[in-house]
Amino acid sequence: MARFAPFPEPPALIAEYIAERSTEESVVDGPSPWDIGALSAELIAPLPEWLDAVCRWLNFTYAWQPQHVIPPCWPEHDHLTYEIAAFAFARADAYQEAGSVVLWHEQYDRFLIRMNNALGKTGDECRIGRHDARPARFQLDAWPARGSADAGDPEAGAPIKELI
């Protein structure tokens, strides 16, 4: 790998989508490409491979401490997937002006803080290839659906039992 490896180019389909959205006479009224939860299956399909290349690039280029490493199981952490996508797309815009590049690097520091806060101690295990699903005590499946009290569910207003 070159000493200064280039940032991975987005997939052609995504680059075309971005170009079409940015023209004045565009008829594309779709979501922003970094809003991965709103993209069509066709647009999402090439993203995992590209985002993985972005994570590898970030790790190779910037990860000097263990807590800076984006774990290889990042796709299993939905919050990381959203953040990595937004961060990857922000880089293209940032590199248009030197001052914006400095801000992008500041955003990288904030991304690391959010990533490490969200992963907590499990991040250490994830970084060495031992991904575990969300700890049991935080299972969100235990939360009752909103509005179930209106449906006559007597348990709807009951406190959530601790799952530890």
Look up residue 107 and give its amino acid. Answer: Q
**Rounded to an integer, what is the distance from CA 39 to the centroid of its chain?**
14
The whole-model pTM stands at 0.76
Alpha helices by DSSP H, listed for the chain, are 12-22, 41-44, 47-62, 78-94, 98-119, 122-127
Q: How many CB atoms lie within 10 A of CB 35?
A: 13
- Asked whether the CA dihedral 27, 31, 33, 37 is positive or negative, the reply is negative
Number of residues that this document lists for the chain: 164
In this predicted structure, what is the pLDDT of residue 3? 81
Those residues whose C-beta lies under 8 Å from the C-beta of residue 119, and which sit 6 or more positions away, are: 71, 77, 126
In this predicted structure, what is the pLDDT of residue 160? 46
Full pLDDT tens readout for the chain, 164 residues: 568 899 999 999 998 888 887 776 656 677 888 888 888 899 999 999 999 999 999 999 999 999 999 999 999 988 899 999 999 999 988 888 888 999 999 999 999 999 999 888 888 888 888 887 766 555 666 666 776 554 555 555 555 444 33
In this predicted structure, what is the pLDDT of residue 137? 54
In this predicted structure, what is the pLDDT of residue 164? 36
**Which residue from 146, 147, 148, 143 is spatially nearest to 160, judged by alpha carbons?**
143
What 8-state DSSP symbol labels residue 138? G
d(CA 96, CA 12) in angstroms, rounded, equals 20
In this predicted structure, what is the pLDDT of residue 163? 37
Q: Is 64 helix (H, G, I), strand (E, B) or coil?
A: coil
In this predicted structure, what is the pLDDT of residue 58? 96
* Tokens coding 141: 């499946």
